[in-house]
Amino acid sequence: MTATHRPLGSTLPPVFPIGLGCMGMSEFYGASDDAESLATLARAVELGVMLFDTADTYGLGANEELLGRFIAEGAPRGARAW
């Protein structure tokens, strides 16, 4: 991607302008596959994505647990969570 990072307020580091919606990783669009979802999250970070849209209502919390597991165990080096 050729998009550049943009400022987010005056105190936070610049962020990539494109986020990843994670709702389909836990329900709503058919069967979910954690391995595929984790690979998608890793690739998104490699491409510069810094915003992952999730909610506790997606899979009754399963979506946030998946994203938390990715951040705790599998996020590429240098990835951050705010």
Q: How far is CA 67 from the centre of its chain?
A: 6
Closest CA to 34 of 47, 20, 24, 45: 24
| Residue-level pLDDT at 77 | 64
| Residue-level pLDDT at 5 | 83
Catalytic residue among 20, 49, 58, 59: 58
What pairing do the DSSP bridges indicate for beta strands 20-21 and 52-53?
Answer: parallel
The verdict on whether 58 is a catalytic residue reads: yes
Q: How confident is the model at residue 39 (pLDDT cuts 50, 70, 90)?
A: very high
Residue with tokens 């990843």: 20
| Residue-level pLDDT at 38 | 93
Q: Tens digit of pLDDT for each residue in 41-56?
A: 999 988 888 888 888 8
